[in-house]
Amino acid sequence: MLKRKYLFPDEGVIELNYQAGHRLGVNVYLIDGGDEYALIDIGYLDAVDEIIDLIRRMDFSLSKCKMLIATHADADHVQGLARAQEFLKTKVAAHPQAQKPIETGDEILTFARIDAQDIHLPMPPCKVDVLLNEGDVIDIGPRKLHVWYTPGHTTGQLSFKMGKLLFCGDNIFKDGSVGVIDAHHGSSIPDYIRSLERIKADDAEFLLPSHGPAFRRDNALLQKTIERLTQYQTMADFGTCATHWPMLEAWEQDVISGRMPDFRK
């Protein structure tokens, strides 16, 4: 049996990049509810077999997976859904706005195909069994995930509140970056600002994004990001073509070295 590395032991949260000890791709959160568990995002297709192996080696029964939950329909979050469902025989859940791109394998809306950057990923379609809307509650054993609808990055972006934790998807990262803003993607800057303002006004102590490290909610950071996005509404240069992402590179080194986050900082 592989020792379980809980990111938040009291809340039963395991993040599978830390568990693997190397970068799998998107953050994959396992919510341990005792007699059952759920996964938030599954990531790329080529990581699914290793994720399933990790789940087995941590002594979680594959048949006890209650749900595969998609924060949104981007390929780096959902490309492996169909494959994971084959193993786990469980339900797939997403927002209604994410249903069509997931079920049809839409290469454009999922960012599986970006011709200008020579990105052409297969996007296996997968049936969405459960539609998640604002105010829904997902019971995972004694744990409750409260569903937030937080559009902006995509029209179907969800976040999930569980006690002091907020699984915030691609809304905000530790360095103040946000998920891609792109018209072909269905992005909306006004919606994005409203979603960030909601996160800033909440009482969640920790934010658990879909990329990079979890971190303490920092209202100054959120406000700075809100102000930046507010400017984007009247400026033509809101896009970015960054050559690398220092925060993610530093996080990957933490994952490889086995350093878990120090939330005292």
Query: DSSP letters of 116-160?
Result: GGTEE---------EE--TT-EEEETTEEEEEEE--SSSTT-EEE
Confirm whether 206 is domain-assigned.
yes
Tokens matching residue 92: 């797939």
Residue 17 Cα distances to 27, 39, 104, angstroms: 6, 13, 28
In order, the DSSP letters of 207-255 are EEESSS--EE--HHHHHHHHHHHHHHTT-S------S--HHHHHHHHHH
**Does the residue 100 lie in any domain?**
yes
Query: How buried is residue 258: exposed, middle or buried, by Cβ count under 10 Å (0-12/13-18/19+)?
Result: exposed
CB distance 257 to 2 below 8 Å? no
Domain-located, residue 132:
yes
Q: What are the residues facing 8 on neighbouring strands?
A: 13
Compute and round to an integer the Cα radius of gyration of the chain: 17
Phi, psi for residue 146 in degrees, rounded to 5: -95, 125
**Per-residue confidence (pLDDT) for residue 240, from 0 to 100:** 66
- H/E stretch holding 162 reads strand 158-162
Q: What pLDDT does 244 receive?
A: 84
Query: Is 263 inside any structural domain?
Result: no
Distance CA 169, CA 94 (A): 12
Task: Check residue 183 and give its pLDDT.
Answer: 82
* Residues in Cβ contact with 179 at an 8 Å cutoff, skipping those fewer than 6 apart: 152, 153, 154, 157, 169, 170, 171
Return the pLDDT at 238: 64
Tell me which DSSP letter residue 25 carries: S
Looking at the structure of the chain, the number of domains it has is 1
Domain containing residue 145? 6-257
- Residue ranges, the chain, pLDDT below 70: 237-241, 265
Phi, psi (degrees; rounded to nearest 5) at 166: -130, 115
Classify residue 265: in a domain, yes or no: no
Cα distance between residue 114 and residue 94, in whole Å: 23
User: What CATH number is given to the structural domain containing 31?
Assistant: 3.60.15.10
Using one digit for the tens of pLDDT, what is the confidence trace for 77-86?
999 999 999 9
Check residue 47 and give its pLDDT: 97
The whole-model pTM stands at 0.95
Q: What is the pLDDT of residue 16?
A: 98
pLDDT at res. 169: 97
| Alpha-carbon distances, residue 110 vs 26, 127, 195, 248 (angstroms) | 14, 15, 20, 21
Does residue 1 form part of some domain?
A: no
* Predicted pLDDT of residue 235: 79
Distance between CA atoms of residues 70 and 132, nearest Å: 10
